[in-house]
Amino acid sequence: MQVTQFRTADLPGRERFAAWHEMTAKAHVNTTVSTDNAEDFAAAINLIDLGSVQASVLTYPPIRASRTAKLIRRSDPELYFVSVTLGGRVGFDQVGREVLVDKGELVLLDTSLPAVAVNDVPLEHMVIQVSKNQLPSRPRLRDRALARPMPARRGLGSLVTSFVGQLMASAHELTPVEGARLTTVVVDLFTCLLASQLDEPAMARESRQQLLPTRVFNFIEQRVGDPGLTPAVIAAAHQISIRSLQLLFQSQGLTVSGRIRSRRLERCRQDLADPASDSRPVHAIGARWGFTDAAGFSRAFRREYGMPPGDYRHQRRQLR
């Protein structure tokens, strides 16, 4: 997984706008951009690249960006974009539809069609881009889904936004294998979001099935510190049998109990390395994340990381 961070503040003022334009063209698509702030363009981008899926958070002052038919003919990566406004507001014009996307809203866009984006105030937004060939179906979006603001704080919009936000926050900790698995999850979420906009029953049924692993994984993440979290509890919460839950995890190369244990151990590892947790006893950290038996926690941690939790904490302190 490739992680990129870029800030124009690291460059001389007169070079910032051109560098920003070049960076965003490489990260997303080529556009024509103009601004009244070219002499001192304060902008930043944090980006993760998973191959067929990419996510970024961008901040920048007012600009006007247009993607013309000429630019599309020159180069089109054939992507769908989800733009989530985190701060400020931005207007989009695509397929003859002009919309204003406020904070807490998202919008779908297509790189294969001309578009204009204008923000008259400083903007912070998340951009999720998915290759069209990764989708299980390629619906006609022109008249129904593109350039229509949707809520990003509830329903599917909230699920997409929160999952990708968590993915970006933990990107530096993920292995390539984990990154590949999470790419599939993002595509599934995107497909479900499209289905909700298009109201296509067949696609919606397919999307609900695809979304189940994401819902289960999020359920585990939210309750990983609960000692009572078991396969039976997870299955009941999602109205499926324990056998179905086990098969779901087998298809991901995992087991239910193994997933719970690995997430608990990872949370413990993070706390043991965190200076803010230095005063908390090792056994209390284990208990915080669902390990009710201190000896069992120590054995599990040693199997996973090659040393007891106390030794790991000491090692991390020495490296500070």
**For residue 218, pLDDT beyond 50:** yes
224-320 — its CATH code? 1.10.10.60
The neighbouring-strand residues paired with 84 are 106, 126
Instruction: Work out the pLDDT band at 136, boundaries 50, 70, 90.
Output: low
Cα separation of the two ends of the chain: 26
Instruction: Work out the pLDDT band at 173, boundaries 50, 70, 90.
Output: confident
**For residue 90, pLDDT beyond 70:** yes
Which pLDDT does position 49 carry in this prediction? Answer: 87
Q: What angle do CA 267, 49, 252 make, to 5 degrees?
A: 55
Distance CA 161, CA 126 (A): 8
Query: Could you tell me the fold of the domain covering 2-202?
Result: Jelly Rolls (2.60.120)
Distance CA 193, CA 145 (A): 10
Task: Give the tokens for residue 98.
Answer: 């002009």
Averaged pLDDT score across all residues of the chain? 87
Q: What angle do CA 131, 45, 81 make, to 5 degrees?
A: 25
What percentage of the chain has pLDDT greater than the value 90? 54
Distance CA 126, CA 55 (A): 7
Domain ranges of the chain: 2-202, 224-320
Helices (H), the chain: 16-27, 69-74, 155-169, 176-198, 201-223, 231-237, 242-251, 256-273, 282-288, 294-305, 309-319
* Rounded average pLDDT over 91-109: 95
**For residue 45, pLDDT beyond 70:** yes
pTM of the model: 0.63
**For residue 142, pLDDT beyond 80:** no
Distance CA 5, CA 2 (A): 10
* CA neighbor of 286 nearest in space, from 313, 306, 259: 313
